[in-house]
Structure 1
Amino acid sequence: MENMDLFVINRYRHDSIDIDPTSQELKHFEKLKKDIEKRKNESFNHIMLHQKPNETLNNVCEENQINSIGEVKIDMRIEEVKKSGKEILNNSQKTIEEFKIIGGNDFAQKPKVQRILPFWLSHPYSISRDLQNVSFTVSEQDWLHNTLRSTLISQGISYLFPVQAQVIPFILREHYMPNCLWPRDICVSAPTGSGKTLSFVIPIIQVLMNETSHHIRAMVVLPVQELAAQIANVFKRYSVHTNVKIALLSGTTPLHQEQQQIVRYTDSFGWISKANIVVCTAGRLVEHLKNTKGFSLKKLKFLVIDEADRMMDNVQNDWLYHMDRHVKLENELMFGNVANVNWNSVYKQSAHPHKLLFSATLSQDPEKLEQWGLFQPKLFSAAPATNVDDDDHIRKYTTPKELKEEYISCNGEQKPLILYYLLMEMKWNKVLCFTNSSQTAHRLAVLLNAWGKGKIKAAELSAALDRVTRDSVLKNFMNSEINILIGTDALARGIDIPDCSYVISYDLPRNIKTYIHRVGRTGRAGRSGHALTILLQTQLQLFMDIIKSGGKSNMPQMTVKPETLSNISEDYQKAIEETKNIVHSEINSKVKKSVAVKRGFKSQKRKIE
């Protein structure tokens, strides 16, 4: 049984979980050595008793030799076990180093990737945001044409804003270069209401006013119909004493009527354009490129993209691809393949359209800007100077310096009470209120009209209304026949609403771009403005993160005493009940009309059959 120690099996026992197998083996070998020593002594005593002295001496020597060899083998085995134990520990340490334990604290920190921007993005031309202390007198700008200078003064413009004073002469200088030196494209990022529209209207008119061609020379592409109509009116206003013709293509009139306004067939020259400058929406442009015979952009000199960030995010009908393909195809057909490169061929080579991108929230992401195919571009930015290595600097936007921005925190039931308090108690007038849906805008307008009982005149403005109704509502607001105009973010894009004193974000803006365009409806053209955002307690941190992403660190908070809101809560409950009845009756009326239309259609179908 003693020899069974060589075949010891380590079994699992609850009291030996942490025992090291190597130490166990060493203990067994130590025990074996003692047993060998014991047997050696017993055999020696037995030999001494039964053998002769000479034999005993020889046997003892042989036995000692055998035992010494056994001891050496055991010692060697012990050394092997120790060595293997060390190897196991080393291998386990290597395994720990190669395979990271999930949740461990020894993860190596990943190196931070440094953003490297193109030089033109990291070193823009800086534009001042101060519209109060302007020193660029219109009458002293010798680069302005006399006709345009007198037109600007007659329109009440005596000074140029900083963005106009920098961008207009830059564009003009680019077009006074020889034909072989193509103009450099520009991107302009400046606050809303800082005068970006005139920054491209004036130079385009001045470059084209002396031309006598029958081609489309400039095109302005915009995201919405209202903004397109507004820009077209600005072009018409400042080109009144020139030969430049303006056309609006926005879908407000039928396609065949727009075709008659822009192209005409002649016996001498074939198809010619009746307009030199076309202001259009992206979707309508694609329709004319596909369906209007004689609509040609082969002589296009300017391509202006207003609200460029929105045009990047929502490329309607892939208009940029269709337009670029149309321009390239016509140029190839016109010039053909150039066999030899010489001064004559280079001089006569037509330049690509001069691209001018404008927006208050223009993205400075090189990957997004790449799709425009800009030629040696330059950036004009009103954003504050930041570290080039800062990861967030490309998302920083600016608001007018004359704009006062605040927020107020409340619960869901207090939101309409705060809005009513601002209109009735604080006497806020000429207010634009933004919601995130047309349904909310409609219900809020009904509530305020029922609650105010004639003291508040509220109206809604959303995509749910037709174009005629929207124009009528805007006109009434400008004429002070409406106190508060409630709309969705479709109203926040570039539309100029004169004398808007206050902007209220009734619902949390979805992102920093939405916020910038909302508050930009007031504080325009150097006038003072006030913007307020109404927040729930749960939205406060999210809102702070949103404004921080735009480069704003602190924003003051407006407070309203709780007792002030409790005094108007009784009337609020009555107004809520009245609003529910009005909305319910409107829904029933729409259902009845829908049923009547369906019945009329069915009866008509039966008569035809």
Structure 2
Amino acid sequence: MDLFIINRYNDTNDDTHIIEQEAKRLEQLKQRIEERRKAFSVKKSSDVITLKEEKQTEILPDLPVSTNDDLPTEIPKPNTPPKPKEKIYAEKQKEFKVLGSSDFQKKSKVQRILPYWLSHPTVVSRDLNELSCPVEEQEWLHPVIKSTLLSEGITKLFPVQNQVVPFILNEHTLPKLFQPRDVCISAPTGSGKTLSFVIPIVQLLMKDVGCKIRALVVLPVQELAAQVAKVFKKYCNRTHLKVALLSGSVPFQQEQQELVRFTESVGWVSKVEIIVCTAGRLVEHLKTTEGFNLQHLKFLVIDEADRIMDNIQNDWLYHVDHHIKQGSELMTGKVQSLNWKNVSKQKLAPQKLLFSATLSQDPEKLEQWGLFQPKLFSAATNECFEDEDQIRKYATPAELKEHYVVCEAENKPLVLYNFLVEQKWDKVLCFTNAAETTHRLTVLLNTWACKGLKVAELSAALDRSMRENVLKKFMLSEIDVLISTDALARGIDIPDCNYVISYDPPRNIKTYIHRVGRTGRAGKIGKAVTVLLPSQISLFKDLIKAGGKEEIPEIKINTDVIDRLFESYASAMNTTREKINSELNLKIKNSIEIKRSAKSKIQKRKK
């Protein structure tokens, strides 16, 4: 505060004293500035970082006390050689950590350690052209199964069937007290996973006597459930086994009549041995269908397990476990004495079989299934499971050729038209991300091609009967191009689908794997193309890399092709707008008429 002077007004005119004080204080300020400047220059010139250390009291030998003023002012130190700077710095670094030092060691990367069954799977080949497992030479196959396979034109088993089916059959040859190991299968789409569980289940249940529910197959969607049920019925045709489909395709009361019947002597008895169902419909029957009993269940198959795992409908797995354990000591709370009689009567849990082309290798997600000593069959090599970055590697068939093409948003219909019409691609399955895009694209192509191309749409906006009719026409080549949302991307077997085009890029790697998996099935050659905008290239490459797949090559489209098609595209687009607007007006008109009729009915009732 001595830098500030408060001059009060007084009558005496003493200006000389004030001037002297100001000059004195100015000299003090200049002196302080000079001292600070010198201190800053000394600090800046020093390159060595000096660290403060605590003062250590050094014990010195006793010196004679003298009162003479000639004694030296400094105490002599013993003759010790000076330490080098490197040694001094090393000693100081032991006590202090200097921030920013380059001598710090890099932290070692934490390695992810998987359970042994996940890190050491049985590798399944992806090549379906070189098959070395003739059906007639396999002694472990039942003659009835062999004849059915040969009648269906299957002379050789696929790699996944050759490895999984004998393993499941061998697990059930163990003594009764030994519970069979659960099985997880992660193989490419179209590699024969369905027959991998149909064959062993049918062959093992042929020996059982009495009609009881012994196999339960759970699937995510109705179309896939109907497809699997059709395969089961085909292979059970020459046996006493009966199959029931519970998916909501028929009324609930009709499904109940196909499941169970009531007898006066025994009570409720089952009419089927194998049930193929969707998760939501299964819970409805478990809650409301009287006599529906799963206590004799031997097989629990979950197809497309990763999708059911991500969206467990109505907590169906809990209800299944509850019905299986009903009547056991876990439900009653009574623990039986440990003897041979009680042990031999102990009911084993059903063997779980999990199938998917994109089965997760995350132990936390797989834990909810409660697997017993599981065995994994995977198309990925063992090296993929050792590297954490490749832990989610998904495989596609070796016969599938994958590409991508880049264009602007306004040129996407032109690129699609070039593939379909000018390059004459047939049996094409085109995927979009929205039902509105599906409908607009269908109307545009039908208008643009002028009956030279038969295009149909398939989305959730259509009911089940219409979807089945469209699929049937596509399989019979009555439809050249089928435009669909991702409702068709999961597990549906479409024979002779030659090309898959992703008009809109997939949202994740699982969707991509299931989309491209609709072609290149059962050893046939297939081609998949993804249409991308320039801003979507990096995201798509990251998506492919996240799945552990190799880089996909690009297809170039000449600008001359775009320019040549633009004029016809503009006229077709105008016609498409008019058609869609007329459809919207018609829908609005119909909705207004429905509301008016409903109001008139209400008014009549009031009268």
TM exceeding 0.5: yes
Tell me the equivalent position of 2:215.
218
In structure 2, relative to structure 1, the CA distance for the partners of 1:124 and 1:604 (3 Å cut) is same
In structure 2, relative to structure 1, the CA distance for the partners of 1:13 and 1:124 (3 Å cut) is same
Q: Is the 8 A contact 1:435 1:487 kept in 2?
A: yes
In structure 2, relative to structure 1, the CA distance for the partners of 1:206 and 1:108 (3 Å cut) is same
Equivalences for residues 503-518 of structure 1 within 5 A = 503-518=500-515
Equivalences for residues 596-607 of structure 1 within 5 A = 596-607=593-604
Which of these residues, 164, 167, 189, is aligned with residue 164 of structure 2? 167
Tell me the equivalent position of 1:143.
140
Amino acid at match of 2:350: P
Amino acid at match of 1:142: E
In structure 2, relative to structure 1, the CA distance for the partners of 1:186 and 1:12 (3 Å cut) is farther
**Matched position secondary structure for 2:241:** coil
**Matched position secondary structure for 1:386:** helix
Query: Is residue 2:453 matched to residue 1:479?
Result: no
Which of these residues, 203, 206, 223, is aligned with residue 203 of structure 2? 206
Q: Flag the structure with higher helix content.
A: 1
Which of these residues, 285, 288, 293, is aligned with residue 288 of structure 1? 285
Tell me the equivalent position of 2:534.
537
Which of these residues, 577, 591, 594, is aligned with residue 594 of structure 1? 591
Query: Is residue 2:134 matched to residue 1:126?
Result: no
How high is the sequence identity, in percent, across the aligned residues? 59
Q: Is the 8 A contact 1:100 1:107 kept in 2?
A: no
Which whole-Å CA distance do the structure 2 matches of 1:374 and 1:262 have between them? 28
1:107: how far off?
A: 8.6
Which whole-Å CA distance do the structure 1 matches of 2:382 and 2:427 have between them? 35
Tell me the equivalent position of 2:460.
463
Which whole-Å CA distance do the structure 1 matches of 2:566 and 2:329 have between them? 71
Q: Is the 8 A contact 1:180 1:348 kept in 2?
A: no
In structure 2, relative to structure 1, the CA distance for the partners of 1:513 and 1:294 (3 Å cut) is same
Which whole-Å CA distance do the structure 1 matches of 2:176 and 2:332 have between them? 16
The structure number with the bigger radius of gyration is 1
Q: Is the 8 A contact 1:338 1:345 kept in 2?
A: no
Which of these residues, 572, 575, 579, is aligned with residue 572 of structure 2? 575
Tell me the equivalent position of 2:375.
378
Which whole-Å CA distance do the structure 1 matches of 2:327 and 2:454 have between them? 54
**Matched position secondary structure for 2:555:** coil
Which whole-Å CA distance do the structure 2 matches of 1:571 and 1:228 have between them? 43
1:105: how far off?
A: 8.9
Tell me the equivalent position of 1:236.
233
Tell me the equivalent position of 1:525.
522
Tell me the equivalent position of 1:549.
546
Structure 1 residue runs of 5 or longer lacking an equivalent are 24-64, 77-89
Equivalences for residues 10-25 of structure 1 within 5 A = 16=36, 19=39
In structure 2, relative to structure 1, the CA distance for the partners of 1:538 and 1:107 (3 Å cut) is farther
**Matched position secondary structure for 2:382:** coil
Which of these residues, 319, 336, 357, is aligned with residue 360 of structure 1? 357
Which whole-Å CA distance do the structure 2 matches of 1:608 and 1:126 have between them? 70
When the two chains are superposed, the root-mean-square deviation of aligned CA atoms in Å is 2.9
Tell me the equivalent position of 1:250.
247
1:188: how far off?
A: 0.3
1:151: how far off?
A: 1.0
Which whole-Å CA distance do the structure 2 matches of 1:495 and 1:507 have between them? 20
Tell me the equivalent position of 1:449.
446
In structure 2, relative to structure 1, the CA distance for the partners of 1:267 and 1:502 (3 Å cut) is same
Tell me the equivalent position of 1:421.
418
Amino acid at match of 1:409: V
Query: Is residue 2:324 matched to residue 1:327?
Result: yes
In structure 2, relative to structure 1, the CA distance for the partners of 1:335 and 1:317 (3 Å cut) is closer
Amino acid at match of 1:293: E
1:98: how far off?
A: 7.7
Query: Is residue 2:398 matched to residue 1:404?
Result: no
In structure 2, relative to structure 1, the CA distance for the partners of 1:97 and 1:450 (3 Å cut) is farther
Tell me the equivalent position of 1:344.
341
Tell me the equivalent position of 1:186.
183
Which whole-Å CA distance do the structure 2 matches of 1:413 and 1:603 have between them? 48
1:389: how far off?
A: 3.6
**Matched position secondary structure for 2:388:** coil
**Matched position secondary structure for 2:554:** coil
Tell me the equivalent position of 2:431.
434
1:292: how far off?
A: 0.8
Query: Is residue 2:492 matched to residue 1:495?
Result: yes
In structure 2, relative to structure 1, the CA distance for the partners of 1:9 and 1:578 (3 Å cut) is same
The two structures have a TM-score, normalised by structure 2, of: 0.84
In structure 2, relative to structure 1, the CA distance for the partners of 1:229 and 1:332 (3 Å cut) is farther
**Matched position secondary structure for 2:576:** helix
Q: Is the 8 A contact 2:325 2:331 kept in 1?
A: no
Tell me the equivalent position of 1:55.
none
Render the CA deviation track for 1:535-579: whole Å, top value 9, x for unaligned.
Answer: 111111111111112222222211121101210110101111111
Which whole-Å CA distance do the structure 2 matches of 1:188 and 1:253 have between them? 31
Amino acid at match of 2:570: Q
In structure 2, relative to structure 1, the CA distance for the partners of 1:302 and 1:416 (3 Å cut) is same
Query: Is residue 2:311 matched to residue 1:311?
Result: no
In structure 2, relative to structure 1, the CA distance for the partners of 1:327 and 1:99 (3 Å cut) is farther
Q: Is the 8 A contact 2:119 2:386 kept in 1?
A: no
In structure 2, relative to structure 1, the CA distance for the partners of 1:490 and 1:110 (3 Å cut) is farther
Q: Is the 8 A contact 1:298 1:331 kept in 2?
A: no
Structure 1, 307-316 or 205-214: larger mean CA deviation: 205-214
Q: Is the 8 A contact 2:433 2:486 kept in 1?
A: yes
In structure 2, relative to structure 1, the CA distance for the partners of 1:124 and 1:602 (3 Å cut) is same
Which whole-Å CA distance do the structure 1 matches of 2:422 and 2:40 have between them? 82
1:18: how far off?
A: 8.7
In structure 2, relative to structure 1, the CA distance for the partners of 1:14 and 1:516 (3 Å cut) is farther
Amino acid at match of 2:372: F
Amino acid at match of 2:588: V
Amino acid at match of 2:202: I
Structure 1, 550-559 or 392-401: larger mean CA deviation: 550-559
**Matched position secondary structure for 1:416:** helix
Tell me the equivalent position of 2:59.
none
Amino acid at match of 2:470: V
Q: Is the 8 A contact 2:329 2:336 kept in 1?
A: no
1:17: how far off?
A: 7.6
Query: Is residue 2:384 matched to residue 1:395?
Result: no
Amino acid at match of 1:178: P
Which whole-Å CA distance do the structure 2 matches of 1:268 and 1:457 have between them? 59
In structure 2, relative to structure 1, the CA distance for the partners of 1:387 and 1:483 (3 Å cut) is closer
Render the CA deviation track for 1:379-415: whole Å, top value 9, x for unaligned.
Answer: 0011133154411222001111111111111111121
Render the CA deviation track for 1:445-502: whole Å, top value 9, x for unaligned.
Answer: 1110011110111111111110011011101111111111000111010000111000
Equivalences for residues 45-84 of structure 1 within 5 A = none
**Matched position secondary structure for 1:464:** coil
Amino acid at match of 1:571: S
1:583: how far off?
A: 1.2
**Matched position secondary structure for 1:310:** helix
1:343: how far off?
A: 2.5
Equivalences for residues 80-91 of structure 1 within 5 A = none
